Amino acid sequence: MVSRARSSGENMIEQSNVQTDPLQFDGINSGQSNPATELSRNISAAFELIFFRTIAYNILRMDSLFQSGISEKNKANQNQKKLVQTTGKESYALVRERKRAELGHEPSRMDMFIECHSKKDENRTPSTVEAANYMAQMHEKREKLSEGSQDLPAENDILSQVVGKDKYGRVRMYGLGVSQSDVWGQIPSRKQSQRIAMEWKENCEQMEERFNNRIDELKSMFLRHRGREESQSDACSPATSINHRPQMTSTQLPRPFRVRDAVCLKSIMNPSETVAKGIIQSIDPSTEVGGEELGPNWCEVSIQVAVKKDERLIRSYGFHKTIYDAYGATVAWPCPYEANTAKYETLGIQELSPRSQKSKHPMEEVEELNGFLQVQ
């Protein structure tokens, strides 16, 4: 009785729930879909679609505004640029190879700057006013270079003098990944530079002392031989002497070195060894080379051929330490000692072009005794 009453009560509750549910209609089986439920789902999906479309539109609109702002900013920055490169996506390496084929030698950084900042028209017009000013200053400095000198890539070349020094870890006109040590060698530290400077200062002082001693020895030797020759000439009469030797006239004496003479540079340690060939640029003692005056018995020589590349310079300056470093530049080198009656060579320079002599000069006898001298 109790179980039957309980089951009848549950049935009544279920019937009441079915009648009070607003989404239930009579005559619809439990297995069929409810139209109200489908309508509700469609409405929800439509609202979700509208919502996401609105969000997507706002995102795209904000991105467009952001991009337009960046574009305006880029245009403003572009107008403020002083230098505009005209090579496009072509790398510095490709430009350098093309320029090397055009010039026939390694282009300088000045050549690269002009190539990369000129328009592609027939006149090669500079891309900006600032670039035109830089190019004018570079051409002016190149014209002041001594004949035979070259503007090789260096820390203080023409480009650095005009545009400014390169930033740390970067070399202009070489692109990314190229450091200063890759282009002009390892840069010594301050302590190393001081130590090297002290060593070379001591070496230079020793070599100059040796050089001056050699000059004194040669001068005294020449005076002795000249006195001996004069005494022999006085003892022999020109009319009776068969072996009378005529004195050399001023036209027969070898002329002293002059500017633009082609010369050989001799090693200080081994005077018979040629370390370089060059052209004399100046013999004025007040001429400065590397910030130091030449002084007496020194010449300014432009090195054209480096014979012994690792030979140390007598007076090094800047990054010019060896003959190879100074290729195309000018260096200070000991020049021949000049007297009123003769010229004889000392430590450093020998003229390339031979000079003919009709009679044997007294100094040639000195050369036979002391292989150090080379009389022209």
Three-state secondary-structure class, residue 338: strand
pLDDT at 232: 64
Bridge partners (DSSP) of residue 312 are: 322
Kindly state whether residues 180 and 193 are assigned to the same domain: no
Kindly state whether residues 148 and 206 are assigned to the same domain: no
Is residue 285 within 8 A of residue 304, CB to CB? The reply is no
pLDDT at 256: 66
Distance CA 254, CA 342 (A): 7
Kindly state whether residues 340 and 224 are assigned to the same domain: yes
Kindly state whether residues 228 and 317 are assigned to the same domain: yes
Distance CA 162, CA 128 (A): 16
Q: Is residue 252 part of a domain?
A: no
Kindly state whether residues 193 and 326 are assigned to the same domain: yes
pLDDT at 136: 92
Cα–Cα nearest to 134, from 100, 163, 94, 176 = 163
Is residue 28 within 8 A of residue 34, CB to CB? The reply is yes
> Domain end: 152, 184, 216, which one?
184
pLDDT at 197: 85
Pure H helices in 309-369: 362-369
Kindly state whether residues 169 and 124 are assigned to the same domain: yes
Three-state secondary-structure class, residue 281: strand
Kindly state whether residues 111 and 169 are assigned to the same domain: yes
Question: What residue ranges of the chain have pLDDT lower than 70?
Answer: 1-33, 78, 186-187, 227-256, 335-376
Distance CA 268, CA 334 (A): 9
pLDDT at 113: 92
Domain that holds residue 153: 92-184
Kindly state whether residues 176 and 281 are assigned to the same domain: no
> Domain end: 120, 150, 184, which one?
184
Distance CA 362, CA 247 (A): 10
Kindly state whether residues 210 and 270 are assigned to the same domain: yes
Domain count, the chain: 2
Cα–Cα nearest to 183, from 87, 83, 319 = 319
Using only the alpha carbons of the chain, give its radius of gyration: 45
Q: Is residue 250 part of a domain?
A: no
- In sequence order, the 6+-apart residues with CB closer than 8 A to the CB of 293 are 285, 286, 287
Q: Is residue 193 part of a domain?
A: yes
> In which element (H, E) is residue 84 found?
none
Kindly state whether residues 224 and 347 are assigned to the same domain: yes
Q: Is residue 33 part of a domain?
A: no
Kindly state whether residues 173 and 228 are assigned to the same domain: no
pLDDT at 182: 81
pLDDT at 97: 92
Q: Is residue 19 part of a domain?
A: no
Kindly state whether residues 157 and 192 are assigned to the same domain: no
Distance CA 318, CA 106 (A): 22
Global pTM reads: 0.36
Q: Is residue 67 part of a domain?
A: no
pLDDT at 336: 52
Bridge partners (DSSP) of residue 300 are: 282, 332
> pLDDT for 25-39, tens place per residue?
444 444 556 777 887
pLDDT at 192: 78
pLDDT at 111: 92
Q: Is residue 113 part of a domain?
A: yes
Q: Is residue 18 part of a domain?
A: no
